[in-house]
Structure 1
Amino acid sequence: MIAYENDGQTARITFNAPETGNRVTYRMMNDYIAALEASHQSGARVLVLRSEGEHFTLGRDQKEKVDVPKRDNLGLILRANDLLRTFPGVSLALVKGRAMGFGSGIALHASIAVAEESAIFGFDEIKHGLAPLIVVLYLPHFIPRKAASELCLTGRDVGAAEAAAIGLINRVVPDGALAAAEAEILDVLASYHPGALSLIRRFVNGVSDYPSAEDGHLAVDQLAAWLEAGKPTS
């Protein structure tokens, strides 16, 4: 369900479960994390994240039942986000169709995110009866706090144009133009000094005000405790 390739310069991770809308299962999440870890060790200058099928991903599979502690399952999100955010080169997310929940998070944590004009984003966890505390924690790091609050509380769909306007993504291209956008960006990046690009990434990560690991684990603990308590209404 996750395809990983590396030609020495560019690593590619492809969400490859189109029959399920690339919904992220427990196994798929672990495979995604393994691919991210491999990309860190590969020496690749660029990491491309893409998808097969109609949608980038419909988000985590909310109906899946797995025999692992809720804290461990939720903690995978922290690990995946951290690996993508700290990739030593430049990461590029290419989004088509729907990129819901975890999919919108991938677009945010990538260095550059490009989407087709018909793409849809959103943090729809609340629609599934969940409180997206991890999203609540990191989203204001990327977009204005007022906008972040509204998206988490309403779970509404966000079109590509609005997503670019509020900073969820960098660029919108016509439908069917992702491959051309990828080639253009890769050509541009290949023309620059790799050390300069790496230094930019290291510096950004070093001075970032991104939420701490402790804050992330606090969000996981509180969400897991709420779920284990049967989702109390107050």
Structure 2
Amino acid sequence: MTDPALSSEAPVLVRSSHGLGHLTLNRPRALNALDLRMIGDLAAALDAWEHDPDVQIVLLDGAGDRGFCAGGDVRALYEQIRSGDPEAAGGFFRAEYALNARIAEYPKPIVVLADGVTMGGGIGLAGHAAIRIVTERSQLAMPETRIGFTPDVGGSLLLAHAPGRLGEYLALTGRTMDAADAIAVGMANHFVPSADLDGLRGALATGPGTAAERVSRFLSRSADGGRPRESGLARSRDWIDDAFSAGTVADIVDRLRARPEAAASDTAAVLGELSPTGLAVTLEAVRRARDLPDLRAALAQEYGLVLWFVTSQPDLIEGIRAQLVDKDRAPRWQPATIGELAADAAASAFAYRPRIGLWG
């Protein structure tokens, strides 16, 4: 039954009916960006429904038609760092990462509609679900390097298992994927036109079978069969795999500049604008994630890296300032260029040990 206390003003709408638990991120004017209260509300609902026989499937979506979830509250992180207590940010990341792991390990199928903008923390909600739906409006990305940061919320693991070197490419550039790209790299399962999402919601709440069977029946009636057009990323594998298999960020840039494709040259220019330290750490993180056993191990690695950036590296706060606060788009990175990167630039990040561990 629907919670009688449900309010349209709540940041997460929680209700259940006909065996379907339905969670809706409800901050459409903020593109449903996550804050700590929303993380707590989502976790509490999953806890309540885990052993509830009246809930067999969980559906997670976002209010509005512009975005499922644009990510975490980066401005709040900026203020925490500026306040002189950067480790306070650890509480947010611990709660967020616990929710990411909970979604991946949940004993009932979770279906996520990644319609519209789905970035950063939104990938942490959508990317680990059992069934991940994208639409023609979907825009997925891990754009953390744009603010001198590194992909987290399990994004390093998702990217590590993308075909070829697409993971390194997406992690370093922060490029936005459309629906076809997201399916090609393994961040989504099915394509559904946005106009058909209400029909899918109804199908999930009715009929026999598992969540996967209900989705499959719905897709079998779709003209496109749940598949979008061909992925542009897949068509670019030759130059991406060649360049992004290089050993270092500097080597990647050199290979990009040597390629004949205009897109390769453009990518080299993009990397030249980003935090050299953020790029070095991100490249190493994705490559190490390929050898990690599971999501929890990846989240633990990311947690140490994230708190290293928060406590020890000036590029994060400078990137947030330049992109989101002053919006001058002119960050002053330290070091300023890829050529100035030390050979062991990422070593101190991976050696960092947070005062409070991720899993207690």
Note whether the superposition's TM-score is higher than 0.5.
yes
Larger deviation: 145-154 or 178-187?
178-187
- Asked whether 1:191 is paired with 2:201, we answer no
> Structure 1 CA distance, aligned partners of 2:154 and 2:198?
29
The answer on 1:56 being equivalent to 2:73 is no
Q: In the alignment, residue 20 of structure 1 is paired with which amino acid?
A: A
Distance change >3 Å, CA 15–CA 210, structure 1 → 2: farther
1:223 paired residue number: 306
**Amino acid aligned to 1:131:** T
Runs of 4+ in 1 over 4 A off after TM superposition: none
So what's the TM-score if we normalise by structure 1?
A: 0.82
Instruction: State how far apart, in whole Å, the 1-side matches of 2:56 and 2:161 are.
Output: 23
Q: Label 1:126 to 1:141 Cα distance change in 2 as closer, same or farther (>3 A).
A: closer
- Does the 8 Å CA contact 2:60/2:110 hold for their aligned counterparts? yes
Structure 1: gaps of 5 or more residues: 195-208
Is the alpha carbon distance of 1:133 and 1:57 closer, same or farther for their aligned partners in structure 2, counting shifts above 3 Å? closer
Q: How do residues 166-205 of structure 1 correspond to structure 2 at under 5 angstroms?
A: 166-187=185-206, 190-192=207-209
Partner of 2:244: none
- 2:145 counterpart (126, 131, 140): 126
Who wins on radius of gyration, i.e. which is larger? 2
RMSD: 2.7
Contact kept, 8 Å, 1:115 with 1:178, in 2: the verdict is no
Aligned to 2:330: none
**Counterparts in 2 of 1:147-162, with a 5 A limit?**
147-162=166-181
Asked if 1:37 is matched to 2:120, the reply is no
Distance in 2, matches of 1:93 and 1:212, equals 18
Q: Is the 8 A contact 1:48 1:92 kept in 2?
A: yes
Whole-angstrom distance in 1 between the partners of 2:68 and 2:198: 14
Q: Deviations over 1:162-207 (max 9, x none)?
A: 11222211111223211112333444xx51279xxxxxxxxxxxxx
- SS of aligned partner of 2:209: coil
**Aligned residue type for 2:62:** S
Aligned-partner SS, 1:176: helix
What do residues 146-172 of structure 1 show as CA deviations (whole Å, max 9, x unaligned)?
222221111111011211222211111
Q: For structure 2, list consecutive stretches of 5 or more residues without a partner in the other structure.
A: 1-10, 212-291, 316-333, 335-344, 346-360
Partners of 1:93 and 1:114 within 8 A in 2: yes
Letter of the 1:93 counterpart? V
From 6, 11, 14, the counterpart of 1:4:
14
Higher strand share: 1
Give aligned pairs, total: 220
Deviation at 1:63, TM superposition (A): 0.7
3-state SS of 1:223 partner: helix
Match of 1:21 in 2: 31
Q: Percent identity?
A: 22
The residue type equivalent to 1:55 in the other structure is G
Query: CA contact under 8 A between 1:114 and 1:172: conserved in structure 2?
Result: yes
TM norm structure 2: 0.55
User: 2:159 touches 2:171 (CA, 8 Å); kept in 1?
Assistant: no
Name the CA distance, whole Å, in 1 between partners of 2:305 and 2:181.
Answer: 31
Q: Contact 1:136/1:148 (CA < 8 Å) preserved in 2?
A: no
The answer to whether the 8 Å contact 1:100/1:122 transfers is yes
Change (3 A) 1:137 1:186: same
